[in-house]
Structure 1
Amino acid sequence: MSRVISTRGFRSQIASQRALHKHSTYGNAFPFTTSANRQSYADTIHNLKIGKHTRVLYQGFTGRQATMNAKESLDWGTNIVGGVKPGFEGEHLGLPVLPSVRVAVEKLKPDASAIYVPGDGTVAALEEAIENEIPLIVAVAEHIPLHDTLRIHEMLRTQSKTRLVGANCPGIINVQGRCRLGFQPLPFFTEGRVGIVAKSGTLSYEAVASTTRAGLGQTYCISMGGDVLAGTNFVEAFQVLVEDEYTEGIIMIGELGGSAELRAAEWINNYNRRIANPKPFMALIGGIQAPPGRIMGHAGAWAAPGEASAAQKIKILEDVGVTVVDHPEKLGAGMKTLLAERTWAGTQDRTAAGAGQRRGYHTAPRRPKAFDPGKSVVEQRRRLYIKQSQAFDMLNARGVPTVVSPTIHEEKFIAISIDREMRQPCIIASPTTDPSQAFQLSRKFPFAYGTDAPTSPDMLEKVSSHLGVSGKCQPALGKLIAGLVDLFMSKEAFVLQTKVVMGEEGTLQVQGAKFGFDDAAFRSSKRQADIHALRDFQSEVPEEVEAENEGMIYVKLAGEGSIGTIVNGAGLAMNTVDALVARGGHPANFMDTGGKATSETIKAGFRIVTSDPRVKCIFVNIFGGLTLGDMIANGILMAFRDLDLKVPVVVRIRGTREAEGQKLIRDSGLKLDAFGRSSRIANSLQSLSLWLTDVLETRLL
């Protein structure tokens, strides 16, 4: 299926999917409920309205991370009423600890739960909170196996009491109401006027810092999170922010992968047309330079076949009047301009939806060129793809015939994957694999996880009708779907794609197959060891494997890259590469050290980045939430000492203890430049590429 898709194609598919998603809230500005007679997960959106009134429970309360986090939140003003530790009853931090969520709900009456249960216990904690109907759950954990998440969303979809934020996210915070559920860096938040919704944690921190520097402050910061399936998406968060009396402007931070940004654009367009003086929207989208098919740091940061690229998402958002910037430092000043324009406009009639939002402030006129798909030769990580021959063996074992030498007959496309909008698995079917038509003609058929719905006669009839298959061919198609569903469920796949040819006599042959499985099922829970054993390390880039062993994600970029990058957080890492290219730089790699980067991981990052002979200069870009700026600086100094680095390094440290970190860099006497407020280029990323060039020309002499 083609990756080169026009924005017109996306809009036509959006229109065709509205009928399938008629019970969702994506196209509606108000109200929260989907109908007067039917309750659903959409009815829980109002549970996001946290504040001083919110009674917060901690699951895993006595753990080290939970204890540190709870102390900070209590000091800040969050109304924590107690916690849970299975089988234990007592006291912690002067608050009650109860043996189960059920008992805690009875005695403490919590409105929200923050889950800090370690390891694969997170899933059981989520299930317990849902079963006991806690109104809001915040899950910050990374690497929850995808099929566990699908099961959680099936529970959520069939109830109307509990709302989830996360997983794989910093959480949710209401600055006006002094309520934090998550690990957002509190020193950068100030009471103010801007609401922020973000996929990326580190980029959301950058947005907070930017709006604080601009004197705007924040109301809510709601995390969508970086997983394939989000408990709360952009549109659901928007519905809270446009109703919030303190929120005057809204910032969204998206990235490649999925279609949440497209639904957001559609919703914003509808909102702008409905409201006389709408609140302005700004956006930043990361991953313009991401190689196609690669996972850029976290589970959801990858574009599946047929999904919009980051550049296409930007175009669609701009078309509905959203101001899109290319670096988070521009968000504060940009929103200040938009809010001034809105105040000036007052209740004047708007002649075009969103027209005032872009007046006087817009993105840089020169949009960076997207990554060339032809240069991408390596498959993505954290999702495990197997060889076609291995996929054929799995199909043959289920009685599905395959053929190694494709025929010239017209192929049909049949797959099992994830519908991110419906938060369910789905069958994807297209009557052709012709790249010029496949996307427009493909259709998703979502089904409830863990049921026989995908193999029911009704589903077979729907898929057959769409594919143009009838009569004798239907049983063979049904057998293929049953085999794919069995593989999907039993082996925890995330995508199973096939190209098939139907014979006149009712025969079916699979001529092509691409099967991808969730590597997190093995890494987090040691499930699917047989699938994990199929991984072919010999065919992978050694530096990428080494980075993975160190808990980082490294992607070697093609081309003439000379600037090595070391960044904490996938969103910030993507935006760093995008920003460098937009300013004429040539990044050699993407590197996400993780949101909890330490001195040791920074040192390992230097070792891996400098193993690329193209690298002539390194840019370290760190925003400290949990990460401490001085700790990162010490890691950089350690790398210089132990690795005998020869290339100059530019270090940008923001966030927690940034001044201490910058001072350590400046005072080191090494080939280091501290890029920051006291540097000769101040905060201007516009000058960064020029500075790096200057470093190359002077420091290497």
Structure 2
Amino acid sequence: MVPLRSNPASLALRSRNKVRNASRRAFSSSRTQCSYDDTVQNLRIGKHTRVIYQGFTGRVATGNAKDSLAYGTNIVGGVTPGKEGEHLGLPLLPNLRRAKEELKPDATAVFVAAPQCGKAIEEAIAAEIPLIVSVAEHIPLHDIMRVSSILRTQSASRLVGANAPGIISPIGSCRIGFQPLPTFAPGHIGIVAKSGTLSYETVASITRSGLGQSLCIGMGGDIIAGTNMVDALRVFESDPETEGIVLVGEVGGRAEEDAAEWIKEYRKRVGEKAKPIAALVGGIHAPEGRIMGHAGAWKGAGERTAREKYGVLEEAGATMVQHPEDFGGVMKTLLSQSGRDVKKIVGDAQRQQQKRGYHTMRRRPVAPVQLPASRTGSNAFVQQRRGLLLGPDQASAPLKPYLSQSGVSLSDSEPPKDAFHLGVTVDRTERSPCLVVSPSTQPSQLPERLRHFPYDWREGPPDATVQSAIAHMQLDAAPPAALAQATALLQALAKMYKEKEAVTLSGSVSINDEGNLILHQPTLTLQFDDAAYRSTKRQQDIHDLRRKTREVPEELEAETHGIVFVKLSDPAANIGTLVNGAGLAMNTIDALRLHGGKATNFLDTGGKATSETVKKSFELILQDERVKVIFVNIFGGLTDGGMIAEGVLLAFREVEMKGVPVVVRIRGTNEGKGQKIIAESGLSLEAFDGFAEAAKRVVELANGR
């Protein structure tokens, strides 16, 4: 276990939860009549699930459907606008309305590119498809906010995603998404994860242990998820096939905190019969203020760090692991300690595998799945950036047209100690925008006094919500002018938030001697959704303000090659990292620390890395003179292990390695081929199976041993 008990925060958590729950009551009360929460049981997929595809005849959907059909998924047809007939020997219909009437689907796989995906999801909601699975990355945040506001008003459809690998039931032979099939095996462990690559390595560990999986839910790495960890936990609790539960979280949002609250209540309610739960949180050593690959992998104001979320989950009763390859052994131990018959569980899983004639670790690997157009093709390289943050000196230009509506003056002075914090951001748990306010801006007080006031994206904040926010700021007794200006400012920021597709708009305000409200420019944070411009070319005026001359050159170079690269600032760091997948890259940095090593960078090659991508990754890493050794940590889910090994060899032939040693760990798809290529290369490469052994050797080399 990672020794993090020095960060418990239980009293603060309880205090924060009281404030948070109180602020949500008005916004959540409609659920008693029409509840999206009631749709969680739609996640119970299996042999019975009738699946259709939206975008059925596209290249991506066609390849995916072929693999899913071979796996046993009950695909009954699909939709491509304007087309009718047959595809893959199945009915092809021109619209979703007819597909609903004639095919009677239980679920739809939305294989539609990001610019049109929001509309496709809305069509599925209108058709009342029980389960909607959206896999596309780079769907604009405000498109998903609109979708979420619609979902809240109904109790027929459940969304998984977006930007998620999907949902798969190995025990029920049903796959809706692009999960790498060779990793999965029928069994009895339920898994929910934000990260795709971390979930694949988790699945592989569970498979190697003989436990197998009952249901695996990809929550996705976006800011807003249609299905979160608590939703998954509710399904796992009632699922008779699930004997144990695994949570895979990461930096950003409150999903892990909400899960911890649920786990505490569950263990209290069920007692000794509670199903054992193990968890991991990636990004413990993620730098403050950076977006770590996934659109949602950043810590917002008032949110807990990954380290703190780790401690909260541990205190709630989850058993924490250091690395996903540990989950298999840990779950076996926990099942035994809970009084469950581990031999019976493993034996039943093996019988399920034999019955299907399918064993994931021996079966010929399925070819890596091509991702939707929003992840591949000519636009892939320019879509790797995550968000646009304008500095205080840039903030006044886009803000002034809205500020003029409020009567609030913009000052270039620093705020006084008695200033107030206000703004608009996203409430990830409520899946909506919210006013975010605090009566204090002091760093020691802000996290605990910050409060969210969610509102409907389509309607904007009602006056009662605005007044509640002002009361929490303790401005309701302010001079009449300042009170009116605070009201107008919050309404103006909410308008700007929607019209300019922002992620966060915030700053500090104070009351001057004349009784007027002043907004302090040095405190302004204006963060905008990058996907709105990259995917749909909306908000060009905002994104034209990006100043590349002030960005890290290596990070800009990486962006043009489809690589997500973050240069870490620790002068003592000396290990370059090359990883496929944002979650796995974060966890690699964390786990290296536990072995005494420090990474110079975060590098995610992406889910469809190529040999050329690997070569470019080496070039980027070697630009840093701190690097003494390079650690290539690949779990082959969608990425082929053999291809990665060829990329490493290509780098050695064409890149000046400067005598820097390389340690390679390849697991997953075609791991044997990749390991053989490395072993027989005749080059100064060291290959390992397990992470712990590889990390130990990396640290030895970094220290000159």
Say if 1:567 and 1:17 are closer, same or farther in 2 by CA, change over 3 A.
same
Match for 1:312: what amino acid?
Answer: E
What SS does the aligned partner of 1:222 have?
Answer: strand
Match for 2:585: what amino acid?
Answer: A
Residues of 2 paired with 1:48 and 1:185: CA distance? Answer: 20
Deviations 1:565-596 (A, max 9, x none): 01011110011011111100121111111122
- Is the CA contact (8 Å cut-off) linking 1:395 and 1:402 kept in structure 2? no
Whether 1:427 and 2:435 are equivalent positions in the alignment is yes
Query: When the two structures are superposed, what TM-score results if normalisation uses the length of structure 2?
Result: 0.88
Whether 1:390 and 2:386 are equivalent positions in the alignment is no
What SS does the aligned partner of 1:74 have?
Answer: helix
Deviation at 1:22, TM superposition (A): 4.5
Residues of 2 paired with 1:220 and 1:344: CA distance? Answer: 19
Deviations 1:180-201 (A, max 9, x none): 0011111121111111110111
Segment drifting more, 619-628 vs 244-253: 619-628
Gapped regions of structure 2 (runs ≥ 5)? 1-6, 343-383
**5 Å matches for 1:360-375?**
none
Residues of 1 paired with 2:415 and 2:587: CA distance? Answer: 44
Deviation at 1:145, TM superposition (A): 0.9
What SS does the aligned partner of 1:181 have?
Answer: strand
- Is the CA contact (8 Å cut-off) linking 1:101 and 1:129 kept in structure 2? yes
What SS does the aligned partner of 2:241 have?
Answer: coil
Residues of 2 paired with 1:194 and 1:555: CA distance? Answer: 34
Deviation at 1:132, TM superposition (A): 0.8
Say if 1:343 and 1:428 are closer, same or farther in 2 by CA, change over 3 A.
same
The equivalent position to 2:561 in structure 1, one of 539, 550, 568, is 550
Deviation at 1:67, TM superposition (A): 1.2
Whether 1:481 and 2:490 are equivalent positions in the alignment is yes
Residues of 2 paired with 1:592 and 1:6: CA distance? Answer: 32
Match for 1:298: what amino acid?
Answer: H
Following TM superposition, the consecutive aligned residue runs of length 4 or more in structure 1 with deviations greater than 6 angstroms are 23-26
Say if 1:11 and 1:407 are closer, same or farther in 2 by CA, change over 3 A.
closer
**5 Å matches for 1:180-195?**
180-195=175-190
Q: Which residue of 2 aligns with 1:145?
A: 140
- Is the CA contact (8 Å cut-off) linking 2:641 and 2:673 kept in structure 1? yes
Deviation at 1:319, TM superposition (A): 0.9
- Percent identical residues: 52
Residues of 1 paired with 2:140 and 2:446: CA distance? Answer: 30
Whether 1:661 and 2:674 are equivalent positions in the alignment is yes
Q: Which residue of 2 aligns with 1:377?
A: none
Q: Which residue of 2 aligns with 1:296?
A: 292
Deviation at 1:5, TM superposition (A): 10
Residues of 2 paired with 1:330 and 1:280: CA distance? Answer: 15
Q: Which residue of 1 aligns with 2:16?
A: 13
**5 Å matches for 1:433-452?**
433-451=441-459
Residues of 2 paired with 1:208 and 1:602: CA distance? Answer: 25
Residues of 2 paired with 1:550 and 1:608: CA distance? Answer: 11
Segment drifting more, 427-436 vs 246-255: 427-436
Residues of 1 paired with 2:27 and 2:194: CA distance? Answer: 20
Residues of 1 paired with 2:680 and 2:584: CA distance? Answer: 26
Segment drifting more, 6-15 vs 104-113: 6-15
Q: Which residue of 1 aligns with 2:38?
A: 43
The equivalent position to 2:646 in structure 1, one of 634, 637, 650, is 634
**5 Å matches for 1:500-515?**
500-503=509-512, 505-511=514-520, 512-515=523-526
Q: Which residue of 2 aligns with 1:335?
A: 331
Residues of 1 paired with 2:664 and 2:696: CA distance? Answer: 15
Q: Which has the higher contact order (CA 8 A, sep 6+)?
A: 2
Residues of 2 paired with 1:148 and 1:407: CA distance? Answer: 35
Say if 1:582 and 1:416 are closer, same or farther in 2 by CA, change over 3 A.
same
Residues of 2 paired with 1:565 and 1:16: CA distance? Answer: 41
Whether 1:531 and 2:526 are equivalent positions in the alignment is no
Q: Which residue of 2 aligns with 1:498?
A: 507
Residues of 1 paired with 2:449 and 2:576: CA distance? Answer: 42
Q: Which residue of 2 aligns with 1:360?
A: none
Deviations 1:22-46 (A, max 9, x none): 48999xxxxxx964xx121111111
Residues of 2 paired with 1:582 and 1:88: CA distance? Answer: 55
Deviations 1:186-239 (A, max 9, x none): 112111111111011111111111011111111000111100001000111111
Q: Which residue of 2 aligns with 1:29?
A: none
Deviations 1:342-361 (A, max 9, x none): 12699xxxxxxxxxxxxxxx
The equivalent position to 2:471 in structure 1, one of 456, 465, 472, is 465
Deviation at 1:118, TM superposition (A): 2.4
- Is the CA contact (8 Å cut-off) linking 1:395 and 1:401 kept in structure 2? no
Query: When the two structures are superposed, what TM-score results if normalisation uses the length of structure 1?
Result: 0.89
Residues of 2 paired with 1:196 and 1:503: CA distance? Answer: 54
Match for 1:122: what amino acid?
Answer: C
Residues of 2 paired with 1:415 and 1:602: CA distance? Answer: 41
Deviation at 1:652, TM superposition (A): 1.1
Match for 1:656: what amino acid?
Answer: T
- Is the CA contact (8 Å cut-off) linking 2:629 and 2:698 kept in structure 1? yes
Match for 1:397: what amino acid?
Answer: P
Residues of 2 paired with 1:79 and 1:413: CA distance? Answer: 52
Match for 2:606: what amino acid?
Answer: G
Gapped regions of structure 1 (runs ≥ 5)? 27-32, 347-379, 677-682
- Is the CA contact (8 Å cut-off) linking 2:628 and 2:701 kept in structure 1? no
- Is the CA contact (8 Å cut-off) linking 1:101 and 1:132 kept in structure 2? yes
Q: Which residue of 1 aligns with 2:623?
A: 611
Say if 1:222 and 1:674 are closer, same or farther in 2 by CA, change over 3 A.
same
Whether 1:651 and 2:664 are equivalent positions in the alignment is yes
The equivalent position to 2:633 in structure 1, one of 592, 596, 621, is 621
Q: Which residue of 1 aligns with 2:373?
A: none
Whether 1:571 and 2:583 are equivalent positions in the alignment is yes
Q: Which residue of 1 aligns with 2:419?
A: 411
The equivalent position to 1:251 in structure 2, one of 231, 246, 252, is 246
What SS does the aligned partner of 1:627 have?
Answer: coil
Task: Give the RMSD, CA atoms, in angstroms.
Answer: 2.1
What SS does the aligned partner of 2:393 have?
Answer: helix
